[in-house]
Amino acid sequence: MRILFTGGSGKAGRHVVAYLLEQGHRVLNVDRVPLDLAGVDNRIADITDAGQMYDVMHSLAGLDELEPGTGVPSFDAVVHFAAVPRILITSDNECYRVNTMGTYNVIDAAVKSGIRKVIFASSETTYGVCFADGERKPEYLPIDEDHPTTPEDSYALSKVCNEVTARGFQARFGVDIYGLRINNVIEPHEYAQDFPGYMADPGVRRRNIFAYIDARDLGQMVECCLHTDGLGYEVFNVSNDDHSVGLSSAELIERYYQGVPVKGEIGAAETFYANAKAKRMLGYQPAHSWRDVLG
């Protein structure tokens, strides 16, 4: 497929772009800074500028595409990751502005350019636990996509707003728009670097509901979305199968989630950030775990 990818130069995007290239896709990266990766062309552009987003949707993905002499081909899909990726980087209102206007502009330009598939990065923070003032427990475990999304912070609010925006464009244009409620993204080198600390002090993972998502498995998730057509608007939790700490589910519940209702059976090492919907509807099957590195 010919894919326009926003935010491909970032922490998550560069792994997902690499994964998509390995699957044989053509990728044009749209970002404020270039990604230095063989096989990827960059277009420096700002997602908050609607004109620039309309332009890039009709862009060549590289000089080689001039050769056939048949004009600019269409993109088959847009994957939208560009954002201010958490609170406390910019001012709160700037985070909200960039993320909401940027996402509106990207989806608007994509669907009005006839692109029939948009995949966008939402976030675990929509459930309100991650950036709560003090401790906020989930309303139930495991957290699935039906859990209320009532956050207090500007970043998570921007992601909830983006989900509403995406749902509206899907209703108006009838295209496929899938939102990914991504958990904490872990790059391969971060297992050896950070996870021993998580074993020693599991409480540092409470705000992530003790979950994580390997950056390569996030790539697989995007690939699953590219291959699955006809779902309309859907959101999916994206996580790995196990906790990011060495405690069992029973130990975590005893220590951190007393009084929180538990729905169904949870395996001893099974994530509290349910990925069953992605498995069922998309065939997602995460392949990595910190246990492969740390034993």
Ligand X SMILES: NC(=O)c1ccc[n+]([C@@H]2O[C@H](COP(=O)([O-])OP(=O)(O)OC[C@H]3O[C@@H](n4cnc5c(N)ncnc54)[C@H](O)[C@@H]3O)[C@@H](O)[C@H]2O)c1
Residue 138 binds ligand X (CB under 6 A)? no
Query: Cβ of residue 213: shortest distance to ligand X, in angstroms?
Result: 7
Instruction: Choose the stretch contacting ligand X; rule: CB under 6 A; options: 57-65, 118-126, 166-174, 226-234.
Output: 118-126
Contact at 8 Å (CB) between 122 and 159?
yes
Of 46 and 145, the one with the shorter C-beta distance to ligand X is 46
Residue 102 binds ligand X (CB under 6 A)? yes
Query: Cβ of residue 7: shortest distance to ligand X, in angstroms?
Result: 3
Instruction: Choose the stretch contacting ligand X; rule: CB under 6 A; options: 6-14, 64-72, 189-197, 264-272.
Output: 6-14
Q: Using only the alpha carbons of the chain, give its radius of gyration.
A: 19
Number of Cβ within a 10 Å radius of residue 80: 28
* Rounded Cα–Cα distance for residues 136 and 127 (Å): 10
Residue 98 binds ligand X (CB under 6 A)? yes
Query: Cβ of residue 18: shortest distance to ligand X, in angstroms?
Result: 13
- The site that binds ligand X (CB under 6 A) totals a number of residues, namely 24
Query: Cβ of residue 65: shortest distance to ligand X, in angstroms?
Result: 22
**Residue 274 three-state SS:** coil
Of 46 and 251, the one with the shorter C-beta distance to ligand X is 46
Judged by CB under 6 A, the residue of 2, 11, 43, 207 near ligand X is 11
Residue 255 binds ligand X (CB under 6 A)? no
Q: Are strands 41-44 and 176-182 parallel, antiparallel or unpaired?
A: unpaired
Residue nearest to ligand X (CB): 10
Query: Cβ of residue 101: shortest distance to ligand X, in angstroms?
Result: 9
Residue 184 binds ligand X (CB under 6 A)? yes
Judged by CB under 6 A, the residue of 3, 13, 100, 290 near ligand X is 13
Strands in 41-44's sheet, in edge-to-edge order, are 41-44, 26-31, 2-6, 77-80, 117-123, 176-182, 233-238
Could you tell me which residues come within 8 angstroms of residue 21 by beta carbon, excluding any fewer than 6 positions away?
A: 27, 37, 39, 40
Integer CA distances (angstroms), 288 to 16, 240, 242, 253, in order: 14, 7, 10, 24
Query: Cβ of residue 173: shortest distance to ligand X, in angstroms?
Result: 22
Query: Cβ of residue 83: shortest distance to ligand X, in angstroms?
Result: 3
Residues within the interface to ligand X (CB under 6 A): 7, 9-13, 31-33, 46-48, 81-83, 85, 98, 102, 121, 123-124, 182, 184-185
